[in-house]
Amino acid sequence: MALSFLMLMRTREPLLPHTTPPHHKKAEPFALVILDPGHGGQDSGAMAGNVLEKDLTFDVAQRVDRLLGGQGISTLLTRTGDSYVSLSERAQLINRANNAIVVSIHFDDGPRPDVSGIETYFAAQQATGVATIASWLPFLQKIANNQPNVESQSLAQFIQQQLVAHTQAVNRGTKAEQFYVLANVRHPAVLVEAGFLTNKNEIGKLADANYREQLAVAISDGILKYRETIKASGDDLDGASP
């Protein structure tokens, strides 16, 4: 994730969820999946030649959107094109939704060209219905909430497991970090770093639409397995782990 992660895309007007009628009336663990493709507009994110992070994140997010829609799951994207949306605008859009989970999609740039792999982040603490912190503050946030963030951690574990299983990428694990778009939202939220644009092997893979589809299938499968496990465990999140 490039330093430009501090800047993230502007919407002209509120976006409406892409909805699909439910198959049954039984309550679901969540009603909406918010997909957050990193960067956009003047913020390209990480770059490797003509390969831009903002393009990869949007491509993968659209693929996940299609896959989840095919499973009858309602979705919402924080941007629907190559536009700039700020961190605070993203958080506000997310917090206006009810009964949602959030998956932010990014690609990384490493300190060395040999660094590779996939990792998934969650915030150790999140906002709980309070106003979001001003977006001009550092994007690593401290939230006055000491309760463990079990839901986000569990979601991160399910998605990370599926990403590694589908791609055979180096497993860099799940990590707690107070990224703004994770710490300042009131729903379970994770941020996926799905490869390094500083690694030639991973750039080659990411240039392949089939590999990007694998990433999308993995994220979608992780979300579905998270939902199924929570339903089976009766909302007991302590048991909702891969």
Q: Please say if the pLDDT value at position 185 is more than 90.
A: yes
Which 3 state secondary structure label does DSSP give 140? strand
Which 3 state secondary structure label does DSSP give 101? strand
Residue 31, number of CB atoms within 10 A of its CB = 16
More confident residue, 237 or 176: 176
pLDDT digits over 23-62, tens only?
A: 444 568 899 999 999 999 999 999 999 999 999 999 999 9
Q: Which CATH class is domain 3-11+28-239?
A: alpha beta
| Backbone dihedral angles phi then psi of residue 102, each to the nearest 5 degrees | -130, 135
The sign of the CA dihedral 36, 95, 76, 86 is negative
Q: Look up tokens 């992070």; give the residue.
A: 53
pTM: 0.83
Using the CB atoms, write b or e for 70-93: b if 16+ within 10 Å. eeebbbbbbbbebbbbbbbbbbbb
pLDDT digits over 120-154, tens only?
A: 999 999 876 544 444 434 444 444 455 568 999 99
Percent of the chain with pLDDT over 90: 73
Q: Please say if the pLDDT value at position 21 is more than 50.
A: no
Contact 190, 152 (CB under 8 A): yes
Contact 142, 191 (CB under 8 A): no
Q: Return left, alpha or beta for 223; rule: phi > 0 is left, psi -120 to 50 is alpha, else beta.
A: alpha
Q: How far apart are CA 212 and CA 210, in angstroms?
A: 5
pLDDT band, very low/low/confident/very high, at 2 (cuts 50, 70, 90): low
Q: How far are the Cα atoms of 56, 71, 88, 180, 217 from residue 186, in angstroms, in the given order?
A: 26, 25, 13, 12, 26
